[in-house]
Structure 1
Amino acid sequence: MPDPSAQSLAATPASAKQAAARARCDAMVHHARAQIMALGVDRFSVNEVLRLAGGSKATLAKYFGDRTGLIAAAIHAEAETTIATLDLDSAAIRTLPLAEALRRALLGVLRFYLTPGALALYRAVISAASANPAGAQAFYAHGHQVIVQALAALLEARKPDGVHPDLDCARAADTLLHAIRAGLYEQVLIGLVETADDPTVTAHVDSALALFLPGLTAAQKA
Structure 2
Amino acid sequence: MSYPTAMADPPVTAKQRAAQERCDAMVRHARTQIMAVGVDRFSVNEVLRLAGGSKATLAKYFGDRNGLIAAAIREEALCAMAGLNLDGDQARAEPLDNALARALSGVLRFYLTPGSLALYRAVISAATGSNGAAEAFYLHGHRVIVAAIAALMESRKPHEVRTDLDSADVADQLLHAIRAGAYEQALIGLDATVDDAAIAARITATLSLVLPSIGTARSA
Q: TM-score, normalised by structure 2?
A: 0.92
Task: In structure 2, list runs of 5 or more residues that go unmatched.
Answer: 1-8
Please give the per-residue CA displacement for 1:38-88, whole angstroms capped at 9, x wherever unaligned. 000001000000000000000000000000000000000000000100110
Among 42, 45, 66, which residue is 1:44 paired with?
Answer: 42
Superposed counterparts of 1:1-222, under 5 Å: 14-132=12-130, 134-217=132-215
Runs of 4+ more than 4 Å apart: none
Whichever residue aligns with residue 84 of structure 1, its letter is A
Q: Answer whether contact 1:13 1:19 (CA < 8 A) is retained.
A: no
**For the structure 1 residues 130 and 152, does the alpha-carbon distance in structure 2 shift closer, same or farther, using more than 3 Å as the test?**
same
Provide TM-score, normalisation by structure 1: 0.91
Are the equivalent residues in 1 in contact too, given 2:74–2:141 (CA < 8 A)?
Answer: yes
Q: Structure 1 stretches of 5 or more lacking a match?
A: 1-10
Q: How many residues align?
A: 209
Q: CA RMSD in A?
A: 1.5
Please state how far the C-alpha of 1:133 moved relative to its aligned partner: 5.3
| SS class of match (2:132) | helix
State the one-letter code of the partner of 1:78. E
Please give the alpha-carbon distance, in whole angstroms, between the structure 1 residues aligned to 2:200 and 2:65.
37
Larger Rg: 2
DSSP-derived class of the 1:76 partner: helix
**1:137 & 1:12 partners in 2: Cα distance?**
36
> Structure 1 CA distance, aligned partners of 2:196 and 2:182?
12
Correspondence for 1:4: none
How far, CA to CA, are the matches of 1:61 and 1:134 in structure 2? 16
Describe the shift of the 1:19–1:13 C-alpha distance in structure 2 as closer, same or farther (beyond 3 A): farther
CA separation in 1, counterparts of 2:129 and 2:15?
Answer: 38
Q: 3-state DSSP class of the match of 1:61?
A: helix
The CA deviation at 1:194 is 4.3
Identity of aligned residues (%): 66
C-alpha separation between the residues in 2 aligned to 1:215 and 1:174?
15
Structure 1 position 131, deviation (Å): 1.1
Task: Check whether the contact 2:69–2:136 (CA below 8 A) recurs between aligned residues.
Answer: yes
